[in-house]
Structure 1
Amino acid sequence: MTNPDSADHVSVHLTGCGRETADAVIAALDAAFPTSPGTVIAERSGGRGTAPGKPVVWCTVVDTRARRPRTDPAPVPLDAPVTVDLFGAAQPVRQVQEELAGAFGVEDHGTVPGEHELEVRLVLTPVTGA
């Protein structure tokens, strides 16, 4: 598991999507948690480089202390499902999960509790009829 900077930070890892989709998910998180850096880091498994076909992980850290209610209740469009892994203390992870559920269709694919943190895997899905 990844160790966020503080108990209020949640590490968010997106897989199975391109940069535009990752940007849409991170923009939705930035709207809900405006102090988040919005930084996206692309990591490629299997070493360095940009070889085609290598999985990409888009990462950001969300600071949940500045959570604000979503002003746009409309779902954010996605062109394909996206796997999201959240790592952090239980309550902040739940807050990020709630905000993602307000912006996207969400399927819960499991939770792994730790001594001081929680790992949650979600799949964000396109919302039909949006």
Structure 2
Amino acid sequence: MTSTPESPDHVSVHLTGCAEETAQAVIDALRTPFPQGAEVIPARPQATGGAGHPLVWCTVVDTRGRRRSTGIRVELREPVDAGLFGAADPVHQVIEELAAAFGVEERGTVPGEHELEVRLRLTPLPKG
């Protein structure tokens, strides 16, 4: 599933394999480093869940005005699969911020002419 961001500074984030509370925790973790208000929208299901129809939580992150996070770990109750879509530099900025809050395992990258698609697995960071 791909989505075209609104501008080169926007990154589309799609979260699957998790409950609404977990998706919201990931989106909330992106609000601090990327405070461009209107572009970070609340998690919303894009499709109804059910057998064979996974629930997808989506948001668009505007990377302009990035404030680097202070490395605050965010509690996850379960692992989350994340798809990031956008220009390479903004996508890498979002990955850096996710890595400050969660464990991040890259599951694949698909480069395009003007866009990059990255699949990640987000997991809770070890305590300590």
TM score, norm. by length of structure 1: 0.89
2:126 corresponds, among 118, 125, 128, to 128
| Superposed displacement of residue 39, structure 1 | 2.6
The equivalent residue for 2:24 is 23
Cα RMSD after superposing both structures: 1.6
Taking structure 1 as reference, are residues 50 and 57 closer, same or farther at Cα in structure 2, changes over 3 Å only?
A: closer
- Whether the aligned pair in 2 keeps the contact of 1:87 and 1:117 (CA below 8 Å) is yes
Structure 2 residues without counterparts, runs of 5 or longer: none
SS in 2 for 1:65: coil
Identity of aligned residues (%): 59
TM score, norm. by length of structure 2: 0.90
- Whether the aligned pair in 2 keeps the contact of 1:21 and 1:78 (CA below 8 Å) is yes
SS in 1 for 2:72: coil
**Number of residue pairs aligned between Structure 1 and Structure 2:** 125
**Stretch moving more, 113-122 or 32-41:** 32-41
Structure 1 residues without counterparts, runs of 5 or longer: none
Runs of 4+ residues deviating >4 angstroms:
49-53
SS in 1 for 2:5: coil
| Superposed displacement of residue 41, structure 1 | 2.1
The equivalent residue for 1:40 is 43
**Stretch moving more, 30-39 or 94-103:** 30-39
